[in-house]
Structure 1
Amino acid sequence: MDLSIISRTGGPVLFWRGPDYDRLDLTGPVVANWVNKGVGLFGDYGLGPDFTLFVPMPAGLHWRELVAILSVLLADGRVVLGAGSQEDQADGAAASADTPTALDGDFHALVPLGHENDERLAAAEEVFVYNPPALALSTPVDEDFIDVNSAIRAYPDVTPRRLQATGTLLVGDEEIAWADPADDSGSGILVANSTPQPQEWATFLDHLLRGGESVLANGMDDARVADLASSLGEVRGRLGSWTK
């Protein structure tokens, strides 16, 4: 898997819906461009086999986090994600005490604004902080942190690197075989109302990189997420924790 398919996919493939009706629809080429920019940004900090990016995702999966995850995974890096359940994300105290042991050694971190002082990040070499509003151009952080929204825009939409599925993905301490192609990928819409569960990441990333449509909803109630997905087409499956 690489960006060769999604970079030629017409129409939106990623529908981001955030709190307060924040929204962004990204085409395949635009997603690919952002991933290439991320490769450029993290490349300045040693992106490769010895590079680890910790993404705790305290408020669910954001489109900027997804771009960063793909940038590292496709450039032979290592991504460690926090716990995948909505309950874990809501319990900040429990999450802080549950730092993955996979973070032993040097690592970098990516968090939304307001979480840059999380105690789990104390040992990070660099902390990349993004501003969650969909089109925010900068992040108001001091010089101890890296403003992702501003910094990433300085990098080109293409990269001279050969990108392929050579990176390592861990959810907590569980390694995910994300690079193995799924048999039923590509058709229908995948809908996430929170961070995907560990066993869902391989299907999700394969679906996206093959040009399949996905909805990421953060802060929307289940009924609105379901209505949105139904209005876009046939729903193939749901990711994350759903209220029964």
Structure 2
Amino acid sequence: MNTAPAGPRTIADLLNVLVRDPGKPRLTWYGDDGERVELSGAVLVNWVSKTTNLFVEEFDGAPACRVLIDLPPHWRSAVWVLGALRTGATVLVPGPDGLAPDGRPADVTVTTRPAEHSGDVVAVALPALARRFDGELPPGTVDAAAAVMTYADAVLWVPETDPSEPALVAPAATAPVQGVLHGDVLAWAAGAPETAEAGARVLLDGRASLVDTLRSMLGVWAAGGSVVLTSPTTATALEADADRRERLVSQEGVSLGGVASTLGD
């Protein structure tokens, strides 16, 4: 009797899923002022691999390393989270105060607000064409826009992930759970409502929390699908303009049966 192949169980498995059809769009971003960025599976994994190498070489990324991701829902957030998880590190989602939810210091912070953090800090410029961080950087801060591109396109070496280590820790008020282990992270993501239809092209609302957005993206990708993510401003505009929303849905090939967003469905 034939059985369906098992889905991905680790972040490394998930990245392999993304490159099975390397040219297929996996993440499309609609930002403010008409910005549109499309990442195929190959391009997304290329970005993640570079980021993984940076974590390992610059910050000793490994299980038990704590990485605070102080970024909004965005295509760059997805890259940095996947890169951190690929090293086996724990991703911390900050609370309203910008600090780790458990009150303990992070080993490294990835942020758009480098002046507000101390220790090892990576400054991220969100605009797609940014070649450097726009603003003065504190001493020792890594400028992501300049640094990431210097790293290899394929993962060179990472320590073995410990499935019993936390993969994600977030404030209880913004997440369905406070902590998800590496061994359970994709099973947790599979519970997101957007993953109901395998292979769906899913529209996600950037007004959701970073945790909810990450859960949806991981779940959609694990099911072989792809994501169209909007900025909060774009999401609000689409909600107010049904014709514009329908044009986007049509142009991007969004699978209506797979959509479970707050954009009017």
TM-score by length of structure 1 reads 0.78
**Structure 1 residues 109 and 243: alpha-carbon distance in aligned structure 2, compared to 1, 3 A threshold:** farther
Q: Distance in 2 between matches of 1:187 and 1:165?
A: 29
Q: Match of 1:220?
A: 234
**Structure 1 residues 79 and 185: alpha-carbon distance in aligned structure 2, compared to 1, 3 A threshold:** farther
Q: Distance in 1 between matches of 2:264 and 2:108?
A: 33
User: Does the CA contact (< 8 Å) of 2:68 and 2:100 recur in 1?
Assistant: no
- Mapped pair 1:14 → 2:27: yes
Letter in 2 for 1:170: V
2:19 aligns to what SS in structure 1?
helix
Q: Distance in 2 between matches of 1:147 and 1:6?
A: 27
Q: Compare CA radii of gyration and give the structure with the larger one.
A: 2
Letter in 2 for 1:117: A
Q: Match of 1:116?
A: 114
- Mapped pair 1:145 → 2:141: yes
Say which of 135, 155, 158 aligns to 2:129: 135
Q: Distance in 1 between matches of 2:33 and 2:63?
A: 39
Greater CA deviation, 215-224 or 190-199? 190-199
Choose between structure 1 and 2: higher helix proportion: 2
1:144 aligns to what SS in structure 2?
coil
Which structure 1 residue ranges, 5 or more long, are not aligned? 84-94
Greater CA deviation, 215-224 or 39-48? 215-224
Q: Distance in 2 between matches of 1:43 and 1:145?
A: 16
Letter in 1 for 2:131: L
Q: Distance in 2 between matches of 1:164 and 1:206?
A: 20
Which structure 2 residue ranges, 5 or more long, are not aligned? 1-9, 173-177, 240-244
Say which of 83, 92, 107 aligns to 1:80: 92
Q: Distance in 1 between matches of 2:162 and 2:83?
A: 10
Q: Distance in 1 between matches of 2:162 and 2:200?
A: 23
Q: How does 1:157-176 map to 2 (within 5 A)?
A: 157-161=153-157, 166=163, 168-172=167-171, 174-176=178-180
Q: Distance in 2 between matches of 1:221 and 1:106?
A: 32
Say which of 16, 35, 41 aligns to 2:54: 41
TM-superposed CA distance for 1:203, in Å, is 3.9
**Structure 1 residues 106 and 199: alpha-carbon distance in aligned structure 2, compared to 1, 3 A threshold:** closer
TM-superposed CA distance for 1:27, in Å, is 0.1
TM-superposed CA distance for 1:110, in Å, is 1.0
TM-score by length of structure 2 reads 0.73
CA offsets per residue over residues 169-224 of structure 1, 9 Å max, x none? Answer: 12225113422162746322222222644456434213224541101211314453
Q: Match of 1:54?
A: 68
Identity %: 21
Q: Match of 2:104?
A: 104
CA offsets per residue over residues 51-99 of structure 1, 9 Å max, x none? Answer: 1111133xx312111101001112211101135xxxxxxxxxxx22x63
Q: Distance in 1 between matches of 2:264 and 2:151?
A: 40
Greater CA deviation, 159-168 or 201-210? 159-168
TM-superposed CA distance for 1:229, in Å, is 3.1
- Structure ranking higher on relative contact order (CA contacts 8 Å, 6+ apart): 1
Q: Match of 2:259?
A: 237
**Structure 1 residues 117 and 14: alpha-carbon distance in aligned structure 2, compared to 1, 3 A threshold:** same
User: Does the CA contact (< 8 Å) of 2:206 and 2:235 recur in 1?
Assistant: no
